[in-house]
């Protein structure tokens, strides 16, 4: 296998109800990524695209629909999709193409436009449940995430007001992100007083409906060294699915993520993740989910993540900054693009080009994950400089 | 890492009402998507037994789990499953929610007296530990539900049952 680097990145503003079409968003991010490393589309050998349910846009076969905006005209092109986990599968999918030796360069494009679905994109998710045993009960995603949050809380004795600190931290971090949709200085009390959606989940525990696109440029080592003095290497990849019989799993712990993380850490030669990783972008569509994933990534012992959060361990100037970007809670959650936004944040942090968001201490190793399908998929990418 | 600021300026905010009233160009389309799902022998029998007021599972001869809903192969051991086993219609609450929203993220009129939805994962007695199903709780104060609460299925009358998971109306607490 060949070593693969990220050499360029582009990210649109995240916003609800952008006027641009999905294709235009994809074009914007892709053009920006190519410009960032001074490459032309003719320098690119292949393109991969990540985008979540077709039902958001009401366009079936969305991968094909997005191909033009992704720069895929007459190039090898392939779409990948694992629900919310898509955005961190994106760099992995691009990595296959280059690591295999088949291609020297690859564009990895992720796009999502959720706001086209009315009255609310949540309705598009009913059909992800088992058609016979679950759909007749009219479940919704918020229910099953709140169900998981409650199991996480009752197992470890975590309190809602402590978990709310994730929203406070991430929205504040997002104040420094130019693409952010929901940056804010809020308090724990604001989270607790926000509208109850599905207890224990309040409105400020959830990331928003968003539109946006992201793109990274991948290159094989010999090409990457010609393009940039600071390539950021994809040193570990892992992905795994737990069973779709989600009500038979103990939801307090994300086993799917531990399996994926162990795979990625093994490939990257990481033995003690909590010491060897300097910055993390755990997937945070909900407040509890950042903590759930910090434990699954083995960056905190089980049952200890909340105390570490309260102690400031995960702040931008803490021992292990998590979601320094502002995460999905602060920057926004255009599903696939949000996952790739996390990868781009690590890329900028490791390059030392994160501007006001730059964490101290010259970080050299970062990890990001995403999660999706029926709460069952884990996708993990480890980057190093 | 940002596009030009014009993005913000050109962004639009639409309400569902504006679409319904035809103030913006929109496509009205009622998809007539109807599916006839085949359930296979395992879920087929599960539904038939629900119509009889019973819950049935299946065992795995390798890991010895008693699984509900029943399935033709064990997803962990990757072997065909074995015997059919009736389990009870009682169980305990594994985890739950008090939901103020419906499946479309529509808000319930809680202030108007509408009861929140209280869906839960219910571990069914007689199945292996941790084997839960998704169903609703009722006949209980939503704020008094707790982990480990004992519950029992409330069935529709036999003549109203159709062979569906909704032949169980909901689960209610028991002592």
Residue extents of the structural domains in chain A: 4-118+208-384
A54 in reach of chain B (CB within 8 A): no
The alpha carbon of residue B50 is apart from the nearest alpha carbon of chain A, in Å, by 11
Q: At residue A184, does pLDDT exceed 50?
A: yes
Give the burial string for B112-137 (b: 16+ CB within 10 Å, else e). Answer: eeeebbbbbbbbbbbbbeebbbbbbb
Contact A19 B99 (CB under 8 A): no
Closest-CA distance of chain A to residue B132, Å: 5
Do the Cβ atoms of A290 and A282 come closer than 8 Å? yes
Q: Residue B154: give the domain boundaries.
A: 37-173
Say yes or no for a CB contact (<8 Å) between B131 and A131. no
Cβ contacts of A119 on chain B, cutoff 8 Å: 16, 104-106
- Nearest Cβ partner for A196 among B100, B106, B130: B100
Q: What is the pLDDT of residues B55-72, one digit of tens each?
A: 999 999 999 999 999 999
B10 lies in some domain:
no
Of A256, A234, A253, A252, whose CA–CA distance to A243 is shortest? Answer: A256
ipTM of this predicted complex?
0.89
B3 to A251: CB separation less than 8 angstroms, yes or no: no
Q: pLDDT (tens digit, 9 = 90+) per residue, A143-176?
A: 999 999 999 999 999 999 999 999 999 999 999 9
Q: Does some domain include residue B68? A: yes
pLDDT value of residue B29: 73
- Write out chain A residues lying below 8 Å of B106, CB-based: 119-120
In a domain, B71, yes or no: yes
> Could you give the CA distance from residue A212 to residue A20 in angstroms, rounded to a whole number?
9
Counting one residue from A and one from B, how many pairs have CB atoms under 8 Å apart? 150
Would you say residue B27 lies in a domain? no
User: Does A205 score more than 50 pLDDT?
Assistant: yes
What residues of B are in contact with residue A242 (Cβ under 8 Å)? none
β-partners of residue A50 are: A80, A110
- Residue A241 in contact with residue A373, Cβ under 8 Å? yes
Interface test with B, best of A126, A140, A340 (most B CBs within 10 A): A140
**Please, what is the Cα angle at A44 between A350 and A68, to 5 degrees?**
105
pLDDT number for residue A54: 86
Whole-angstrom distance, CA of residue B131 vs CA of residue B122 = 8
Q: Rounded distance, CA A150 to CA B98, Å?
A: 10
Rounded-to-integer distance, Cα A37 and Cα A8, Å: 5
> Encoding tokens for residue B113?
């007296």
Q: What is the percentage of chain B residues whose pLDDT exceeds 90?
A: 75
Q: What is the pLDDT of residue A55?
A: 84
Q: Are the C-beta atoms of residues A66 and A51 closer than 8 Å to each other?
A: yes
pLDDT digits 0-9 by tens, A223-273: 999 999 999 999 999 999 999 999 999 999 999 999 999 999 999 999 999
Tokens of A65: 């629909």
Q: Which residue has the tokens 């779409």?
A: A79
CA dist., res. A80 & res. A34, Å (int): 21
Burial of B40-77, coded b for 16+ CB within 10 Å and e otherwise, reads: eebbebbbebbeeeebbbbbbeeeebbbbbbbeebeee
Cis peptide before A119 (omega within 30 of 0): yes
Pairing mode, strands A201-202 and A279-281: unpaired
The model's pLDDT over A277-320, given as tens digits with 9 standing for 90+, comes to 999 999 999 999 999 999 999 999 999 999 999 999 999 999 99
Give the DSSP H/E element, type plus range, for residue B55.
strand B55-59
A positions 71-100 inside 8 Å of B (CB) = none
Q: Is the pLDDT of residue B2 over 60?
A: no
Q: Is the pLDDT of residue A380 over 70?
A: yes
E strands, chain A, are: 4-11, 46-50, 77-80, 105-113, 196-199, 201-202, 211-220, 232-241, 279-281, 365-372, 377-384
What is the pLDDT confidence band of residue A72, given thresholds at 50, 70 and 90? very high
Q: Does A198 touch chain B (CB under 8 A)?
A: yes
Q: Which of A20, A132, A175 is nearest to B35 (CA)?
A: A132
Helix A287-296, helix A141-156: angle, nearest 10: 60
Residues 209-268 of A with CB under 8 A from B: 243, 245, 247-251
* Mean of the per-residue pLDDT values of chain A: 96
Cα dihedral A27→A31→A34→A40 (10° resolution): 90
Sort out which chain B residues have CB atoms less than 8 A from A144's CB and list them: 134
Residue B17 included in any domain: no
Q: Is residue B100 very low, low, confident or very high in pLDDT (cuts 50, 70, 90)? A: very high
Q: How confident is the model at residue B27 (pLDDT cuts 50, 70, 90)?
A: confident
Please report the residues numbered 117 through 176 in chain A whose beta carbons come closer than 8 angstroms to any beta carbon of chain B. 118-120, 122-123, 126, 131-134, 136-140, 142-144, 146-148, 150-151, 154
Distance CA A3, CA A100 (A): 10
Phi, psi of A18 (to 5 degrees): -65, 150
Number of domains in chain B: 1
**Contact residues, chain B, for A147 at CB < 8 Å:** 95-97, 119-121
B121 to A147: CB separation less than 8 angstroms, yes or no: yes
Is there a contact between B97 and A132 if contact means CB atoms under 8 Å apart? Answer: no
Fold classification of A4-118+208-384 (topology level): Peroxisomal Thiolase; Chain A, domain 1 (3.40.47)
Rounded Cα distance between A126 and A140, Å, is 6
The band of B3, judged by pLDDT with boundaries at 50, 70 and 90, is low
Side by side, which strands form the sheet with A211-220?
A77-80, A46-50, A105-113, A211-220, A4-11, A232-241, A377-384, A365-372, A279-281
With beta carbons less than 8 A apart as the criterion, state whether A340 and A85 touch: no
């Amino acid at each position: 296998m060949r070593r693969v680097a990220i050499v360029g990145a582009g990210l649109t503003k995240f916003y609800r109800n952008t006027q641009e079409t999905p294709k235009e968003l994809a074009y914007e991010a892709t053009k920006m990524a190519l410009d960032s490393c001074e490459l032309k589309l003719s320098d690119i050998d292949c393109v991969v695209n990540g985008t979540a349910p077709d039902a958001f846009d009401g366009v079936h076969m969305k991968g094909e629909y997005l191909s033009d905006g992704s720069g895929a005209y007459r190039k090898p092109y392939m779409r990948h999709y694992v629900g919310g986990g898509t955005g961190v599968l994106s760099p992995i999918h691009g990595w296959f193409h280059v690591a295999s030796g088949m291609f020297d360069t690859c564009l990895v494009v992720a796009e999502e436009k959720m706001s086209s679905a009315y009255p609310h994109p949540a309705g598009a998710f009913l059909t992800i449940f088992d058609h016979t045993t679950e759909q007749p009960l009219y479940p919704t995603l918020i229910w099953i995430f709140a169900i998981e949050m409650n199991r996480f809380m009752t197992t470890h004795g975590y309190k809602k007001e402590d978990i709310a600190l994730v929203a406070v931290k991430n929205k504040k971090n997002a104040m420094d992100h130019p693409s952010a949709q929901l940056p804010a200085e809020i308090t724990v009390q604001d989270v607790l007083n926000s509208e109850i959606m599905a207890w224990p989940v309040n409105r400020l525990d959830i990331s928003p409906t968003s539109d946006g696109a992201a793109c990274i440029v991948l290159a094989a080592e010999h090409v990457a060294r010609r393009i940039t003095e600071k390539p950021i290497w994809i040193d570990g990849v892992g992905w795994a699915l737990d069973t779709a019989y989600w009500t038979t799993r103990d939801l307090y712990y994300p086993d799917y993520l531990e399996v994926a993380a162990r795979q990625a850490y093994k490939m990257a030669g990481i033995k003690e993740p909590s010491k060897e990783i300097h910055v993390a972008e755990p997937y945070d569509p909900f407040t509890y989910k950042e903590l759930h994933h910090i434990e699954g990534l083995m960056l905190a012992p089980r049952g200890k993540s909340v105390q570490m959060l309260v102690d400031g361990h995960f702040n931008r100037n803490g021992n292990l900054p998590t979601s320094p970007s502002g995460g999905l809670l602060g920057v926004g959650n255009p599903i696939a693009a949000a996952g790739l936004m996390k990868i781009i944040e690590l890329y900028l942090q490791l390059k030392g080009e994160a501007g006001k968001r730059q964490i101290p201490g010259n970080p050299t190793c970062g990890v990001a994950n995403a999660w999706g399908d029926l709460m069952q998929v884990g996708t993990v990418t480890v980057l190093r400089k | 890492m940002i596009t030009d600021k014009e993005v913000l300026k050109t962004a639009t905010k639409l309400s569902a009402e504006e679409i319904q009233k035809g103030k913006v160009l929109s496509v009205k389309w009622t998809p007539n998507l109807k599916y006839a799902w085949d359930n296979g022998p395992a879920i087929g029998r599960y539904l038939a037994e629900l119509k009889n007021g019973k819950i049935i599972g299946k065992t795995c001869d390798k890991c010895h789990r008693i699984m509900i809903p029943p399935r033709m192969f064990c997803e962990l051991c990757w072997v065909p499953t074995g015997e059919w086993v009736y389990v009870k219609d009682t169980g305990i609450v594994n985890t739950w929610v008090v939901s103020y929203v419906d499946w479309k993220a529509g808000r319930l009129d809680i202030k108007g007296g509408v009861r929140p939805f209280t869906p839960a994962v219910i571990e069914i007695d007689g199945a292996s530990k941790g084997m839960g199903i998704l169903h609703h709780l009722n006949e209980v104060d939503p704020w008094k539900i707790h982990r480990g609460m004992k519950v029992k299925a409330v069935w529709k009358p036999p003549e109203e049952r159709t062979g569906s998971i909704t032949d169980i109306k909901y689960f209610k607490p028991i002592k």
